[in-house]
Amino acid sequence: MDATAPVGFVLIADDDIEDIEMLTTALKDAESNVDVKVAENGKKVMEQLQKAAGSVAEPYPCVLVMDMNMPKMDGRETVVAIKGYEHFKNLPILLFSTAKNRTDELFAEKWGVHFVQKPDSMQGLNEVAHVILNMCRAKNETV
């Protein structure tokens, strides 16, 4: 894959603007060609994905990075909804949570998605950004 080619876009679903800004910065620092789109909750994620499914011009994200706890439709509900659609079932998803608990990890395992505790340092966030970008590259290679 061409190192200068865009990796696609990452869809970040989170209701915390500071978390969005920090992750976006880490992604852009790691890969200047990455585009980032934002949804403030799971309902908005589903709207964006359904719009992409109904349009040839509207691309899918290469990775969905989603907070576990959001208003209207949380990360768990959104994962279940996404996995119910044939169009979306192979979309790479990384669930983010401030708390690390075994229930969330088991949920992620059951649904075949990644789970990461939100890092508490910029270095940790940079490491997560590289994981996300590697997920994008892997997704692009299978398309």
Residues 9-142: name the CATH superfamily.
Response regulator (3.40.50.2300)
Say which range, 18-22, 41-45, 57-61, 117-121, has the weakest mean pLDDT.
57-61
Cβ atoms 139, 11 nearer than 8 A: no
Domain ranges of the chain: 9-142
Q: In 10 A of CB 6, how many CB atoms?
A: 14
Query: What is the H or E stretch that residue 83 is in?
Result: helix 75-83
Residue 131 has pLDDT above 60, yes or no: yes
Q: Position 14: which residue type?
A: D
Residue whose pair of structure tokens reads 């395992």 in the numeric block: 109
Nearest CA to 37 out of 2, 65, 10, 7 is that of: 10
List pLDDT tens digits, range 42-94.
999 999 998 888 776 678 899 999 999 999 999 999 999 999 988 888 899 99
pLDDT reported for residue 110:
96
**Torsions phi, psi of 69, nearest 5?**
-110, 105
| Residue bearing the bigger pLDDT, 35 or 53 | 35
Q: What percent of the chain has pLDDT over 90?
A: 60
Number of helical H runs and strand E runs in the chain:
5, 5
Q: Say what the pTM is.
A: 0.88
